Amino acid sequence: MTVLLIGATFITFIVIDYFVRRKVSQAGEMQPATARARPQAAFREMPAGAFLHPGHTWLTIRENGHVRVGIDDFAANALGEIEALKLPAVNDEVRADSMLLSLQRGKREARFISPVDGEVVAINDRASPGRLTGEWLVEIRPRRLGKALAKMRIAEAARQWMHAEKSRLVDFLAARQGSADPVLQDGGEPVPGFLARMDDTAWETFQQEFLERKTG
């Protein structure tokens, strides 16, 4: 019965997401190309029907009630070229808003927190440091999934939040823009992989303000 309820909930969200995407697409066709490009850029690699966690991980729900978790392209673009990927082991217990996985660039590590409580049942063997955006990384048998989903965003709510997050990021970078090694391009877009250009203090501040944000 629980699996059926989860499946029904998932189908409902998929249907809502489809019609929201269709409405946004139709509205976008009436706008200039330059006006359409920016809103889509921050959300293009999220799987359909994905729930977005404020720590920049997403999850999708499988038919068996398990969830698959990945990172969004906001985080991937901030990190740029990743050298190592550290995933939990199968059978590990994970807790919502606690560390789930990490990515390494040089001697620095970016930590991502889990969107749900549960047990790790699989990891994606195809995942690699150069292939992260849009790929699931960890599969979890969740506990208290409904409670966790209620605190996440999907469809248009997720898009709006992501756009606001991009604005917050630009403000964060503008306060740290340096002439020798700029982190913002002309026009205000972040430089891909901008974290590599920042010192350890700025990296850790980004970690705390963007990647370790909890659902509360």
Tokens coding 191: 């430089």
What's this model's pTM, rounded to 2 decimal places?
A: 0.78
* CA atoms of 141 and 135, how far apart (whole Å): 18
Which residues lie below 8 Å from residue 170, measured CB to CB, with a gap of 6+?
184, 188, 190
pLDDT per residue as tens, the chain (216 positions): 544 445 555 455 444 444 444 443 443 333 333 233 333 344 456 788 999 999 999 999 999 999 999 999 898 899 988 899 999 999 999 999 999 999 999 889 999 999 999 999 999 988 888 878 789 999 999 999 999 999 999 999 999 999 999 999 999 999 988 756 889 998 889 999 999 999 999 999 999 999 999 886
* CA atoms of 124 and 106, how far apart (whole Å): 23
The structure tokens 């990647």 sit at: 211
The domain spans of the chain are: 2-156
* CA atoms of 71 and 112, how far apart (whole Å): 8
69 neighbors 58 (Cβ within 8 angstroms):
yes
Select the CATH number that applies to the domain covering 2-156 from these four: 3.40.50.620, 3.40.50.1100, 2.40.50.100, 2.40.160.20: 2.40.50.100
Count Cβ neighbours within 10 Å for each residue of 163-176 and write b for 16 or more, e otherwise.
bebbeebeebbeeb
Which residues lie below 8 Å from residue 35, measured CB to CB, with a gap of 6+?
none
Instruction: Tell me how far CA of residue 146 lies from CA of 36, 100, 117, in angstroms.
Output: 34, 19, 11
Tokens coding 28: 């976008």
**Is 194 exposed, middle or buried (CB count within 10 Å of its CB: 0-12, 13-18, 19+)?**
buried
